[in-house]
Amino acid sequence: MSDHHFQADGDRVLADLNALRAIGTYKTGVHKPTFSEAHMRSLQWLVQRLPEAGLAPAIDGIGNVLGTSTKSGPKLLAGSHLESQNFAGWLDGPLGVVYALEAARVINRDSCINGAVEVAAWCDEEGHFGHFLGSRSYVGDLTEADIDGAKDRNSDRTMREALRDVGLAGRARAKAEGGRHVGYLEAHIEQGDILESGGLAIGIVTSIVGIWQYRITFTGEQNHAGTTRMSVRKDAGLALAKFCVAIDDQFPASCGPRTVWTTGRITLDPGAPSIIPGRAEMLFQVRDDDPGVIERLENVLRTMAAEVSAEGPCSVGVERLRTGAPATMDATFQHAIEAASAVFAGSRSIRMPSGAGHDAQVLATIMPAGMLFVPSIGGISHHWTENTADTDIVTGAQVFVDACRRVLAG
Ligand SMILES: [Zn+2]
């Protein structure tokens, strides 16, 4: 039997991705918020495709689509997500789902391959209602109370209302069956420019960074902006601004090679032009794949806060809001992707961490997981201009299908 039986059909992959782009089109991208009409039609599109791969499709009670196989042998779970950020790109999510579908089409009907690929589209990876609600539901990390509390960040619609509106209320939620899968493999656009700038085709993800989030609060004294002399002011806003600059001065000495930090929101209280802010707050985020690095940086942050408070005139409080859990990608999966890249991408691959969060980090809490990246043109994503060259999409599909086959072969 010749090798071509095991290969992805590039034209079919591109046609599928374009079919998904035609649902909820916005300029050259898409607008598919979770549980929007366009999102639900995309889920239906997948449900109609899955039988081509010998998979029985179902949409569960949180909007996950799962295609399950009755073929004997080991089973590999593969997928990504189908909703998008608002007015965003066409590949973030669909690329991984279509690759998984293609792998299932190639592998599941081939009696020479022992085992099958099962396909998943996880709901709400983009966090319209929460964070990783679909994949967390599948791994058993989402309670009914979590769903009760989830709300659309763009409107006041609750998740319960949304589930009812799309006809999913009351359906059972699919849960991972212990021991069913040898692991989970996900493909995604890189959303950065490391691959493109290096002339590379494939990123072999080594880990997915954890996200640590902090609320840093500055307390001073609210007073009149005209009559209060500069020397006696306790300006919480000014203290915050200085603190931001000090972080940028001090973090480089303690951070790792790929640590990133961001002040995403600043609030001044009361926030009026003629009032000295008595209180100020910043939401601060740090990402890294090494908890040891974060521990070091958190100590720097707390020491800085203590020093500023001791010097006055304002006091500073640091509160950790979110503790990140970096996920290590399985070594066997990394090896399978690397071997597939040698065959289909001329070894134009690199091992790299993912700076963005993905469902694979959730699946990694219960089974071995791996991820593969394809280049993003200009490193752009979460924007409607997001794109990847067709040749890179096809190469990625071939590497993905071959990596699935290698994982199933053990
Ligand atoms: Zn994504």
DSSP 193-213: SHHHHTT-SEEEEEEE-EEEE
Regarding pTM above 0.85, the answer is yes
Ligand 1 mean position, distance from CA 342 (Å):
26
Please tell me the predicted confidence (pLDDT) of residue 154.
85
125 CA distance to ligand 1 middle (Å): 7
| Neighbouring residues of the ion ligand 1, judged by CB less than 5 Å | 92-93
Predicted confidence (pLDDT) per residue in 58-70, tens digit? 999 999 999 999 9
**Residue 289 backbone phi and psi in degrees, to 5:** -100, 5
97 Cα: distance to centroid of ligand 1 (angstroms): 10
Q: Phi, psi at residue 69, to the nearest 5°?
A: -115, 150
Q: What is the pLDDT of residue 389?
A: 98
Please tell me the predicted confidence (pLDDT) of residue 325: 84
| pLDDT the model gives residue 1 | 39
- pLDDT tens digits for 128-150? 999 899 999 999 999 999 999 99
Ligand 1 geometric centre to CA of 221 (Å)? 44
- Secondary structure of residue 384 in the 3-state scheme: coil
Distance 309 CA to ligand 1 centre (A): 41
Residues paired with 288 in a beta bridge: 210
pLDDT lower than 50: segments of the chain: 1-2, 4
> Which pLDDT value is given to residue 5?
60
